[in-house]
Amino acid sequence: MTSKVKLRDLVEAMDTQTDYHIDFINIKSGEIVSITNEIFNVAEDTEPFDNKLPDWQQEELKLAHEILDNENQYIELPSKFDINEYKMMEDFCYNFDNSQVQSDLLQAIRGRGAFRRFKDKLIKLGLDQEWFNFRDERYKEIAIELCNNHDLEYED
């Protein structure tokens, strides 16, 4: 029997991703686990419990081997590149049909520093909470799609 995946946990995991770790859903428990890229690479290249690693990394290595040995029990979460928050920002801008707000927001996301400028512009326009609501809803849609694509039950 599989447990339900908590959408809130899934959204949080996707939202806090970095370039330094990989997140997975354990489809039996519904638990989301995270492994650093470094340890995952070690697990792919060595036998279980590489004694060259410090004790504090042994548990993570054990989990990495568990994932590799039971690939049908774990689903990798979409990466931040798969999620594409820049596209989310662009879509948010287009919610303001041909207005000055739309123009200002689209200008803010052009070129280097787009994320910082966008957030600064949101605050200046008083749209920061509206953006966070929009963004949260998009993350939730991605989480639901992931669950549906893998026949996982979920709950809010």
Which of these, 155, 138, 152, lies nearest to 83 by C-alpha position? 138
Beta bridge partners of 137: none
pLDDT at residue 46, as a whole number: 67
Are residues 100 and 67 located together in one domain of the fold?
A: no
pLDDT at residue 36, as a whole number: 93
**Mean pLDDT for all residues in the chain:** 91
Decide: 43 and 17 in contact? Cβ < 8 Å: no
Are residues 69 and 84 located together in one domain of the fold?
A: no
Indicate the residue among 35, 57, 76 that finishes a domain.
76
Are residues 61 and 107 located together in one domain of the fold?
A: no
Q: Which two tokens stand for residue 78?
A: 């979409």
Indicate the residue among 55, 76, 97 that finishes a domain.
76
Q: For 48-87, what is each residue's pLDDT tens digit?
A: 555 677 887 888 989 999 999 999 999 999 998 899 999 9
Are residues 60 and 108 located together in one domain of the fold?
A: no
Are residues 85 and 141 located together in one domain of the fold?
A: yes
pLDDT at residue 8, as a whole number: 93
Do the domain assignments include residue 8? no
Domain that holds residue 30: 18-76
Domain count, the chain: 2
Q: Is 114 exposed, middle or buried (0-12, 13-18, 19+ CB in 10 A)?
A: middle
Are residues 48 and 70 located together in one domain of the fold?
A: yes
- Note the pTM of the prediction, 2 decimals: 0.85
Long-range Cβ pairs for the range 44-48 (8 Å, 24+): 44/68
